[in-house]
Amino acid sequence: MGFTVNALSPVLGAEVIGLDLSSSISDAELSRLNQAWLDHNGVLVVRDQSLTPEQHIAFSKRFGELEQHVVGQFLLKGYPEIYRVSTKVDDDGKPMGNPESGRYWHSDLSYLERPSKASLLYALELPESGGDTMLASMYAAYDALSDTMKGMIEGLTGVHDLYHVNKFFETSGPSAAQAELTPPVEHPVVRTHPETGRKALFINPGFTSRIVELSKSESDALLEFLFAHATKPEFVYRHRWRLHDLLLWDNRCTIHHAVHDFAGSGFRHMHRTTVLGEAAVL
């Protein structure tokens, strides 16, 4: 089958060359692509795509049901499955997409009862330099913990809240009304991936506000340690975007953030779809 897969880092990530997603790929190609995604710990970049919104949505649906983001002002008109990540503005001067998107480490939609399975981010316009995306392997972060620490955190429960960090972004974050539509939820601090059977940390600085079973001071201290541990350089792949990359990551075993270092270097304009996942379980 006519595409190649090349590893991009030792810990996670691979690039796919020679696959055209503008037309429907075969079930065999999809199976091979999905296996490569799992084998490379949940991060694939499919190079050199030319996708309409319809084609982006159609390919994304091959991975499951799509989620509509609660922050509706940044959805692409006519395509509610597409969330715009953009520093551009519309003709009326309003932001096309969320210009602050991803400034902090997070897992997309972990604040839902059924957190997302995958995100597919398509690069339509890039700054001359900067604007990379950092992705961290929560498999590797879990595996590197001592047996004592693993035993301590397994069975603990984290609270995930859309408003936890987003409340600081007055113009681009969710409104109070939007946040009320997604009240805080609880997920295990360690989850088992439903396809690989591997364990991964399932906490993130953006949305995990506390650990249920601990006092505030204990929770703050443990989360601070786990956040710093999970984002150590040895667990991280830095994606340097090329125009028309389609980046696919697994929110069940990775966290990510966008590097906002491109002021004055041009616009960063992208479309994202998000695939609904299953309840997180230990």
**pLDDT of the residue at 163:** 81
Instruction: Band the pLDDT of 14: cuts 50, 70, 90.
Output: very high
pLDDT, tens only, 21-30: 999 999 999 9
Give the mean model confidence (pLDDT) for residues 250-262.
97
Among 165-169, 202-206, 256-260, the minimum mean pLDDT is found in: 165-169
**pLDDT of the residue at 168:** 47
* pLDDT value at 275 more than 90: yes
Contacts from 178-185 at CB under 8 Å and sequence distance 24+? 178/70, 178/71, 178/72, 181/70, 182/70, 182/111, 182/112, 184/111, 184/159, 184/160, 184/209, 185/111, 185/112, 185/113, 185/159, 185/160
The catalytic residues are 106, 108, 256, 272
Angstrom distance (rounded) from CA 50 to CA 143: 38
pTM score of the predicted model:
0.94
Hey, what domains does the chain have and what are their CATH numbers?
4-276 (3.60.130.10)
Give the mean model confidence (pLDDT) for residues 190-199.
99
* pLDDT value at 80 more than 60: yes
> Cα dist. 156→159, 182, 205, 211, 262 in Å?
10, 22, 16, 7, 39
**pLDDT of the residue at 166:** 59
Give the mean model confidence (pLDDT) for residues 48-52.
98
* pLDDT value at 140 more than 80: yes
Give the mean model confidence (pLDDT) for residues 94-120.
93
